[in-house]
Copies of this chain bind each other. A is one copy, B any other.
Amino acid sequence: MKYENLMLNTDSENPLYLQLADSLRHAISRGEVMDGERLPSIRRLSHTIQVNPATVVAAYRILEQEGWVRSRPGSGVYVRHKKNLADLDITETDLRSSLAFQHTNDGTFLDLAAGTPSPDLFPVDQFKTILHEVLDRDAGWAFEYQHSAGWAPFRQTLSRYAEEILQISAPPSTIWVVSGAQQGIDLTSKALLHPGDRVILEAPTYRGALGAFWSRGADTIALPLYPTGWDMDLLEKRLAETRPRLLYIQSRFQTPTTYSWGTEELYRLLELAAKYDAYILEDDLLSDLYFDQPPEPLNLKSIDQHSRVIYVRGFSKVLLPGLRLGLLIVPPALQNLYEQAKQSSDIATDSFMQRAVDLYLSGDHHKRRMDELRERYGRLYKHSISTVSQHLLPLGCSQHSCTGGLHLWIGLPEGIKSADLYTHALKTGVRIMPGEAFQDPTHIRLSFACIEADQIDEGISRLAQSLKELMHTPLY
């Protein structure tokens, strides 16, 4: 990489050290500076790009906190993005695709990491019938180009689905069909963000969102997430200081923390977004996968009176991930920007699958499936927390109780790193999701999405054994 070409703008409101951190992060994430490569010394870089050495120090510190570089005293600052980003970015999908080869095995492999419902629960026969119906009705025309926003009848169905299932009132003209929630986030990034724009997001959060924001050269500001949302005064301070273009949240059963925002915080959030002219991207994985009562409100978008909220929902968690279908609700003022973003990304989403899921959502199939999933996961959740209480809490772990979702977020005893526990447990045939995948090494995520009750017992009991051994290892 040619460091002399780094562009810093002394006239910008954006401080130089943030600009520099941003450029370097960009270069690393694009592979221009390779894993293991040493960055220039502080003196050399400050000389090359003509800034104060303190600017370089501040930029390097940010990158180190974010895990992009590691500084080795007396030796220099080294890039280490492989370990922290590329590897962990793909953990979840990798686990799942390798899992596809596991399901014929003898079953001794216990998966507490997979975060989407088991494919064995997928309504195969119903879907077969539906695919037939689509082909009989539309023949080859089922495979035609669609408008970028989606197949018109499907947008109407999704508008009804939003109204009935998600309590969101959104006319079909505001509904976009996207190729999964990740694309919804990426399109938002493409439509709204420019290099140097700021995005405030929850810490910890979904790595895929960070990837999409960073790929646009945006600067992400992580604000600690508490069980009922952000510290709203701190948020206002950050809004005033950084004037972000976008806020990114999961208001219900957040991944990985399982936290749900309080009602008061949600209303305050909408108010502040309006006051500081920011949009909010709500990533709603599974607000309708509650155990007993629906949360009130069900999600942020349902109380968005002033069109500040862009809402995205993939069907990975409530249907199946390989479909790559999602629903995006876009405020009217932003429609044109999304049109261009979607056009230049992939023109439109698979038209055949739009028609199939259209039929699926139009009938009773989905409502019945959701009832089954709620019953199932409510039961597995209760089973999981009692098992955790029995095996893990006595070892000094903590857990947060929640009212929906597919996961538990377990705090580890002081000094234990979740990546170490992950590695240790894997040797005993138990897979967990280390908190490092969400930038938090003090926790692990345990999922009951794709596993039965007796396997949960066996898995958590083995995990407790691993943890005990780790706690008694001399290194700790």
Chain A positions near chain B (C-beta within 8 angstroms): 4-5, 7-9, 11-13, 26, 29-31, 85-86, 89-90, 92-94, 96-97, 99-100, 103, 116, 118-122, 124, 127-128, 131-132, 135, 139-148, 179-180, 182-183, 186, 190-191, 194-195, 208, 211-212, 214-215, 217, 316, 319-324, 336-337, 339-341, 343-353
Contacts and interface: CB of A to CB of B under 8 A. Distances in A.
Contact of A94 (B94, B100, B147, B351): B147
Contact of A340 (B29, B92, B97): B29
Contact of A350 (B182, B214, B353): B353
- Which of A26, A147, A179, A182 has the largest number of chain B CB atoms within 10 A? A179
Contact of A324 (B8, B217, B340, B348): B348
Given A119-B140, A139-B119, A343-B90, A4 B9 contact: no
B349 A324 contact: yes
A135 B320 CA distance: 14
Contact of A140 (B86, B120, B343): B120
- Which of A93, A190, A208, A322 has the largest number of chain B CB atoms within 10 A? A322
A97 B147 contact: yes
Contacts of A350: 179, 322-324, 350, 353
Nearest to A92: B145
Contacts of A131: 128, 131, 135
How many identical subunits does the complex contain?
A: 2
> What 8 pairs across the A-B complex have the smallest Cβ distances?
A122-B140, A119-B140, A322-B351, A143-B320, A143-B322, A211-B344, A183-B346, A96-B145
A95 to B, nearest CB: 9
Nearest to A186: B345
B339 A86 contact: yes
B135 A128 contact: yes
A120 B121 CA distance: 36
Contacts of A132: 128
11 contacts: A5-B12, A5-B13, A86-B336, A93-B147, A144-B321, A179-B350, A180-B347, A190-B215, A208-B344, A208-B347, A215-B340
A337 to B, nearest CB: 5
Nearest to A321: B145
B139 A122 contact: yes
A141 B103 contact: yes
